[in-house]
């Protein structure tokens, strides 16, 4: 049986202090195990600019790329990593409501409502 080792040169994904507090609070109220659970950051095709973020609390899965920040896990599937690498997860409270927001340095265009985005090299990155 042979195994394949993949080396990633990723910048990672990080939380702001406020977003880390919100994630920690949510995991605690759900009774989730912080050893295996975290915030999943994903991307799917759609929206007026081409891609949309998918953020959800989830358990770690085989094939996930896992980043740890503020003692919390950020779970990213390998296909989404190229689109969100280097991002910061913020927690924002506004008149429209409260929630997590991805501050993504890879974005070159976003829709007016901020729910979809486009990256510069999307032709070079494999489809999601």
Q: pLDDT digits over 69-128, tens only? A: 999 999 999 999 988 999 999 999 988 889 998 898 887 666 655 565 666 664 444 444
Provide the pLDDT for residue 8.
55
E strands along the chain, which residues?
14-15, 37-45, 51-59, 64-69, 72-77, 88-94, 97-103, 107-110, 116-119
DSSP at 113: T
The reply to whether the predicted model has a pTM over 0.85 is no
- Answer yes or no: are the C-beta atoms of 44 and 128 closer than 8 Å: yes
Provide the pLDDT for residue 109.
62
**Phi, psi for 111 (deg, rounded to 5):** -75, 165
Q: pLDDT digits over 1-23, tens only? A: 544 444 456 789 999 999 999 99
3 Cβ contact list (under 8 Å, min separation 6): none
Provide the pLDDT for residue 70.
95
Fold of 14-119: Hypothetical Protein Aq_1857; Chain: A; (2.60.300)
Neighbours of 69 (CB within 10 A): 19
**Phi, psi for 78 (deg, rounded to 5):** -60, -35
**For the chain, domain boundaries:** 14-119
């Amino acid at each position: 049986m042979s195994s394949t080792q993949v080396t990633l040169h990723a910048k990672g994904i990080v939380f702001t202090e406020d977003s880390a507090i919100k994630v920690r609070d949510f995991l605690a109220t759900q009774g989730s195990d912080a050893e295996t659970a975290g915030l999943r950051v994903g991307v799917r095709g759609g929206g007026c600019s081409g891609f949309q973020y998918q953020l959800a609390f989830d358990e770690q899965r085989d094939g996930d790329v896992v980043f740890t920040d503020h003692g919390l896990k950020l779970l990213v599937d390998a296909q989404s990593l190229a689109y969100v690498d280097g991002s910061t997860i913020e927690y924002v409270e506004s008149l429209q409501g409260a929630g997590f927001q991805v501050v993504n340095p890879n974005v070159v265009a976003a829709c007016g409502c901020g729910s979809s985005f486009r990256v510069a090299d999307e032709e070079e990155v494999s489809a999601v």
